[in-house]
Amino acid sequence: MPSVLIIEDDQRIRELVTRVLSEKGYEVGGAATALDGLQRIVQDSPDVVILDMGLPDLDGRELLKMIRAITDVPVVVATARGEDAEVIRTLDSGADDYLIKPFSVEQLEARLRAVLRRSAADSSIMPIVVGGIQIHVEARVATLDGRALQLSPKEFDLLVFLANRVGVVVSRRQIMAEVWRQPYGGSEKTVDVHISWLRKKLGETAAQSRYIETVHGVGIKLVDPT
């Protein structure tokens, strides 16, 4: 679960947010001053920081600059109702998103998720590589020997699932559970059909396979032919 640090001098807000986010499963830490906040960022390295701009001991933007100087942690800024220019200035100072007080819990959580998703996306820009296959998960683009593959959603998900377990045999049941999600009632034959399509698009057949191997009686595995 992601960890959150809230830097906010108003104790009531701090405790409220801490309680609510804890219930949602976040690990939450709090700091009442800029100095304390900085220390905790260094020590705890949270996944995201919620920063109140109205701290008593240091101007919010100054603190934001200092945070930016030492880490790339996403920062969601909370400001009192303000002008657009204020918001723009804040974002330009390096904030990743902003909230205008008073904000609802729903809003807060939405922003947190958005920011976390973005930073997670940044960390996974490296493609998955298996032999001549390259998979850019975020772009949902897969290439074979440099040429793009036209994959349907299920085919793509299936390929990603297999590519994340290169060399490991997975059962049809596993594939059904992970790629199809949901307690799905469909037959496992469906997996075979998609595997077949995937093979065709990878330029191979079951008999003459380079990447997708069948392990009789067990399941399927993706292998790196090199």
Q: What are the residues binding a second copy (CB under 8 A)?
A: 61, 83-86, 88-89, 92-93, 106, 110, 113-114, 117-118, 120-121, 123, 136, 138-140, 152-153, 165, 167-169, 174, 177-178, 183, 215-218, 221
Rounded CA separation 44/39 (Å): 8
Rounded CA separation 175/162 (Å): 9
- Which of 25/153 has CB closer to a second copy? 153
**Do 75 and 64 contact (CB within 8 A), yes or no?**
yes
Least separation in angstroms between CB 161 and a second copy: 11
Question: How big is the chain, counted in residues?
Answer: 226
Other Cβ atoms within 10 Å of 107 Cβ, number: 12
Least separation in angstroms between CB 221 and a second copy: 7
Residue 102 is which amino acid? P
Q: Is 103 in the site for DNA (CB under 7 A)?
A: no
Least separation in angstroms between CB 32 and a second copy: 25
Residue keyed to tokens 């001098």: 9
Rounded CA separation 180/183 (Å): 9
Name the one range near DNA by CB under 7 A: 53-61, 86-94, 97-105, 194-202.
Answer: 194-202
Q: Is 69 in the site for DNA (CB under 7 A)?
A: no
Q: Is 183 in the site for DNA (CB under 7 A)?
A: no
DSSP-based three-state secondary structure for 141: strand
- Which of 101/165 has CB closer to a second copy? 165
Size, binding site for DNA by CB under 7 A: 31
Q: How far is CA 148 from CA 55, 103, 142, 145, 199, in A?
A: 51, 44, 6, 8, 15
Question: Kind and range of the H or E element at 29?
Answer: strand 27-31
Residues 89, 187, 203, 225: which binds DNA (CB under 7 A)? Answer: 187
Residues 205-224 that bind DNA (CB under 7 A): 205-207, 214-220
Q: Is 196 in the site for DNA (CB under 7 A)?
A: yes
Residue 19 is which amino acid? R
User: How open is the CA angle 15-57-104, to the nearest 5 degrees?
Assistant: 35
Query: Which residues contribute to the site for DNA (CB under 7 A)?
Result: 150, 152-155, 172, 180, 184-187, 189-190, 192-197, 199-200, 205-207, 214-220
